[in-house]
Structure 1
């Protein structure tokens, strides 16, 4: 069974946890409390799908809170997210980054997050998608939001390989079911990265993935321990650094 790592990013209240619950088809992630600044934990939800040889690790990350940008805990949370992305990029790989945003104009803080987390990092060639929430009242279809706003996003230099316009609440048009289909196909699909012109992939409501989640496992993530973060160091500690892959010869220490 192959495994895909999908990382969700967004401001506090953007709907990351609700999106995870919708994909899972059950309540597995606790939505953050915006008044308290959201969760500071990184949590991995591993989902297995029926009739699919794919297992998805959905990584829920701390929400970015613009008003608390200088807060110590907020900076720590952002550092944890960066550490997660570095670790995944160097080991299992990042198969999809999803930026989550409430319907409306993209705030300046969203653009800053997009630039600092995506464009300025080594994984800038990773597939990146936008998920827009709170679209249950959009007429005639939730996808109308994208048709009305994609030019504005590109003027702000916000480019995505794919997108999904969704709602996470029940409505009279079966919008929640449509959204679940779109999101499941988004995380299971191999989004091409040839260009950021958004011509590659956009999951539609009529071709969603009709699969059931057969298993869900929740694990809290902690950053790997590295030399600078060790609690106690002595003058006898030795730091050995290599700028090339380790060979068998380099693995022999005396």
Structure 2
């Protein structure tokens, strides 16, 4: 099945009629072209070996709505971070991960920087924000928040807008909210968003509450995403300590919750532990 999906993705990427039209020169050349066209510049800083970069190229970049908007409102550049002026751009703009997406206004000023791949809806939202800032709900909400007294209600309203628009700043402001107001009410939709974004410890009481609330299983994808978040955070902790037992304890604790999701072809816990151990030792 996985091979079939990959084959279909490749077919879509080669046969799609709608895709972002990218320049392939230097950043300096693209900035000059954008200035002449009086348009902002969108830059996809990628590497040929980067999996998420290829995924964006096969999905978000060929989305009809996204490509139509970007082609009409931006000059776009694909920049290999490891070739030509790529290393210089990486250093100048503090880029250390692929993909990183840069946005410049028509005057050549950096207007936005997104680290990591985005889905089509997110990419479109970010493009609208850069191209038409004064009509964008995130822009308006930011102005409102910055001139507010920054009380809990002010920050909460801003987080809601960021969440509704799948904005890349959500992680930052959700973390700020959680730091200031850690006693979250998971029955509150906005505070649930804050929890999902900012809490990464599966042992935290809020995490235990979330995992054991059967209502959360109604959105199985979100539930699995949160479990995966715990896996990734714990994996990094275990690797830093070079201690597989940290990872093993987490798998033993969380595997029953995976079973609740009726994941197709889910192996036994012993088989999964063996797989995780192999990955841990080989990376």
Instruction: Tell me the TM-score range normalised by the shorter chain.
Output: under 0.3
The structure showing larger relative contact order (alpha-carbon pairs under 8 Å, at least 6 residues apart) is 1
User: Larger radius of gyration, structure 1 or 2?
Assistant: 2
Q: TM-score, normalised by structure 2?
A: 0.23
Q: In proportion to residue count, which structure has more strand?
A: 1
